[in-house]
Amino acid sequence: MLNEEILFIRVNKYEYLLKKGTISNYSFNIIDEDRLGFLTLLFEELDYPMEEQDIQSVLQQELTISEEQISDILTQLRDSDILVAKSNKKKRNNLCTYTIKNQRTSYKKN
């Protein structure tokens, strides 16, 4: 399943900003350079918690890429601590709100 400590912010269909922790300055971008379309599927469309083999099955059904490419993607996500072992606790919804009027960012965990 996805790491619950990471906030996923969509930049565009092929790029996301990942922010680890609520008050940390640590963040990084993940980019689908081959434009395969897996990021939106992983970060917005799948319902978690989900076993990694189930994630792999969905990616195989939804995307026109090889099993080897899917395995490589999942390995990279696991090595980057984006994809972690499934836990039995309920997933919290992370909400990030940006407002233009007062140039503030608010963050709320449900």
Q: Residue 1's pLDDT is what?
A: 81
Helix 52-62, helix 67-79: angle, nearest 10? 140
Per-residue pLDDT, 69: 93
Phi and psi at 48, nearest 5°, equal -110, 155
Q: How far apart are CA 1 and CA 48, in angstroms?
A: 6
- Provide the pLDDT for residue 49: 83
The b/e string for 17-49 (b: 16+ C-beta within 10 A; e otherwise) is: ebbeeeeeeeeeebebeeebbbbeebbeebeee
The predicted structure's pLDDT at residue 47: 85
| pTM flag (> 0.75) | no
> Which residues in the chain land under pLDDT 70?
22, 24, 86-110
Residue 89: its pLDDT value, please? 53
Give the pLDDT confidence score for residue 23 in this predicted structure.
73
